[in-house]
Amino acid sequence: MREILSTAEQVMTFADFHGAADCHFHIMDEAFPTVPNPAVRNRTADVAQYRAFAAEVGTTRGVVVQPSLYGTNNSHTLEALRALGAGYRAVVVIDESVPMATLRAWDRVGVRGVRFNQVQAGATTMAMMPAVAQRIADLGWHIQLHIKASALAEHEAMLRALPVPLVLDHVGRVEHADMARPGFDTILRLLAGGRTWVKLSAPYQDSRRGPPGYEDAVEVGRRLASENEDRLVWGSDWPHVTEPEKPEAGPLSTFLAASLKDEGRIRKALIQNPALLYGF
């Protein structure tokens, strides 16, 4: 493993990291109803297919995330959570109208967060976030936010005031040029505060260099790790719904190795940090 960690070009798996977690993937069904005019195409990506992928990359725990195209109808995600069983958690999409009894029931089966997607937007708005955060605070859940780094700075005060932890999707949606702009400084300040987490997932979303190395995204990941290595987790973003061509599993795992470089940091991102955030 130490030899592999030193070379991002090699394909690695996480099998040596017992209990490694994939903290961002989706389970989908092309027959499941979608919101009108969804931003991404519906498809079937079922539990059996995901288990095959997880075996390939060597993860045994994970977090299934409600896809944006299903809106606030979480029934398919919750069914997937039950089918995945022990070692799995979920992040749902809700508005302010969901009864607390429903949220408590979901908590018992493993829901741990609520997602606000402001990139493939529609089901949620930033204005809804404080009220939703108040509803989930007593459950110990978090807010998961998918937003471009360039749009983050204007919301910093509100995000700092949330009564729950904050999780930023997909390397904070930072393009390499963003590292010199206010949104990235906002991410660094939030990370330094200790109540914000970043998923080192989907480097293809903002990398101009692309696979196999995602070198520009790696630079972003390294800067985030230098700020707070205890608040980073890894996610595959399987089945990669934004991508016209399926990314190879190898570069997605070696992206983590190249970003963190150190085996201890990688162990934190795969095991220790997810255990704290999701209660594995």
For residue range 19-37, what is the model confidence (pLDDT) as tens digits?
A: 999 999 999 999 999 999 8
Q: Where are the domains of the chain?
A: 15-278
For the domain spanning 15-278, the CATH number is 3.20.20.140
How remote is the C-alpha of 148 from its chain's centroid? Answer: 14
What does the pLDDT read at residue 12?
A: 66
Tell me which H or E stretch contains 90.
strand 88-92
- Segment 174-216, tens digit of pLDDT: 989 888 888 899 999 999 999 999 999 999 999 999 999 999 9
Is the pLDDT assigned to residue 11 strictly greater than 90? no
Is the pLDDT assigned to residue 121 strictly greater than 80? no
Query: CB of 167 within 8 A of CB of 201?
Result: no
Question: What number of other Cβ atoms are within 10 A of residue 148's Cβ?
Answer: 17
Query: CB of 139 within 8 A of CB of 103?
Result: yes
What's 43's DSSP letter? -
d(CA 123, CA 145): 13
3-state class (DSSP) for residue 128: helix
Q: Which two tokens stand for residue 151?
A: 């749009």
Query: CB of 17 within 8 A of CB of 253?
Result: no
Is the pLDDT assigned to residue 4 strictly greater than 60? no
| Residue 100, CA distances (Å) to 103, 136, 179 in order | 5, 9, 40
